[in-house]
Amino acid sequence: MSQDVQVGLDGWLFLKGGSNQAEKFYTSETPLDDQKMRLWSELLYSRNTRLRAGGFEYLHFMAPDKTTVYPEFYGEPIPRYDLHPIAKFNDAFCNSGFWLPVLPSLMAEKKHRDLYYKTDSHWNYWGCFAAYVSLCGKLNARPVMDLVHRPKATVKIIMDLGGKLVPMIEEQAEFLSVLRDSQRVYCNDIVEYNESDRSAATGKLLYNSIVSFRNNDKKCDSRRVILFGDSFCEYRPHMMTGMLAETFREVTFVWNHSIDYEFIRELSPDIVISSTVERFVSNVPQDNIDVRSEGTRRIMDMQTR
């Protein structure tokens, strides 16, 4: 049994360790200290001020960790549950204008269906859809409600937490084919690498992968969006990126928690969205990146190994 995995009740698995030591956010008295919160506050308010001065609307959301949504299945006491990062961010930024609280929507929706798979640390399609509806509400955009009726495939696979155990545990999962009115019109060299045979031997490169989608449906929201995020959004279109692509005229996704101001200036979107996952909150991003040159450099590094 992996030390990174908490085996909870009824077959539910949770990320306990890992590089971010996820359990500390629910058991430590100071999992996110005042200094880290100050750095986050400086970062997010600085982004909001700078982007709005440039004519861009800005939002930030945090994807909840599974333990935050399903503490009742954790199987061990959670003495500091009330201090988990999203609770602290809600208190700090509820009146900021740029903070999008997605947790209430998930907590309401979980009464009707599972929003995370038992053996995966990520939200599933339904959890992502609940956050997507909240995001559309914040942006005064009409959510595409028939996304939940798109074609789907059901497969048995080993997901991230199930793969950490011996023997590994499979689970049945649904994957929806989200795209209908939109199509991918650009991907950078990292995505091309991930989609090539070369990545099978070396593994996929995720950070600084970039994709763009265009929606030609006359009824879609005419605004253009840049989304900076991670595996809860995805460069592949089966999660938040695809949902937004079906909603807005143009959507570009960058896999990074930092944002690239020059890239934003060149693309000139209407809306900039940044996101992170709750367990990554100890790492405060630095907005001093060039996502395009960094992506090219990482490919060159892989090719010379």
> What tokens were used for 279?
């367990």
| Tens-place pLDDT, residues 190-227 | 999 899 888 776 778 889 999 999 999 999 999 999 99
Please count the structural domains in the chain.
1
The tokens 């028939």 sit on which residue? 146
Full-model pTM: 0.94
Within-domain flag for 286 = yes
Within-domain flag for 110 = no
Report which of 231, 240, 242 is spatially closest to residue 277, judged by C-alpha positions. 231
Within-domain flag for 202 = yes
Within-domain flag for 149 = no
| Tens-place pLDDT, residues 30-69 | 678 889 999 999 999 999 999 999 999 999 999 999 999 9
With 60 as the cut, is the pLDDT of residue 275 above it?
Answer: yes
Beta bridge partners of 272: 58, 226
Within-domain flag for 222 = yes
Radius of gyration of the chain (CA): 19
Q: How confident is the model at residue 303 (pLDDT cuts 50, 70, 90)?
A: very low
Within-domain flag for 92 = yes
Share of residues in the chain with pLDDT > 90 (%): 82
Structural domain for 95, as ranges:
5-101+178-303
Angle at 40 between CA 37 and CA 46, to 5 degrees: 140
Give the C-alpha separation, 235 to 221, whole Å: 21
| Tens-place pLDDT, residues 86-109 | 999 999 999 999 999 999 999 999
Q: Give the total residue count for the chain.
A: 305
Helices 34-53 and 85-93 pack at an angle, to 10 degrees, of 50
What mean pLDDT do residues 168-180 have? 95
